[in-house]
A = this chain, B = another copy of it.
Amino acid sequence: MSTEHQRDALSADEKQLWRGFLKWSETMTSAVERDLTAATGLSAADFQILARLSEADDHRVMQKNIGGWLGWSATRLSHHLARMQERGLLTRASAGAGRRMAITLTDAGARAYENAVPIHAVAVAKHFLDRLDPDARAALLRLGED
């Protein structure tokens, strides 16, 4: 009989791998966010959005695209962009077909992002990049490229 089609439970090794990964991943991303937020007042989510806007032509991007890049639901994105707009980091304007929206970085948003870039880079290096050996780096790169 096969042992593949009806897994009863994880083996001890698999359990260790899964639990270890979860704890490492959560601890590491929390540490990055803690450093970023303490120095800039931006959350990790804020930073990701500002980065995408900052990289775009005219600092302007369709809302739909942001959702795709980050893998966020429409709902989450809508709520988050509303809050960021209230804080003056970006503006929203309807643009074309259906209920399509164009998101634009404000000057204040651009400044907040530029100020945060080096802090973010140091945090990611300290808690993530610097702890990866070449094998781990290659493995994670492969997992992430889909």
Contact = CB atoms under 8 A, between A and B. Distances in A.
Interface of A: 6-10, 14, 16-27, 29, 48, 70-71, 117-118, 120-122, 124-125, 128-129, 131-133, 135-146
A118 B6 CA distance: 8
Given A7-B121, A8-B121, A118-B9, A140 B21 contact: yes
A27 B144 contact: no
Contact of A143 (B8, B20, B129, B142): B20
Given A121-B7, A122-B7, A138 B141 contact: no
Contact of A118 (B8, B16, B48): B8
B140 A17 contact: yes
A35 B68 CA distance: 22
Nearest to A145: B20
Contact of A146 (B6, B8, B24): B24
A15 to B, nearest CB: 9
A29 B20 contact: no
B143 A10 contact: no
Contacts of A132: 143
A25 B28 CA distance: 12
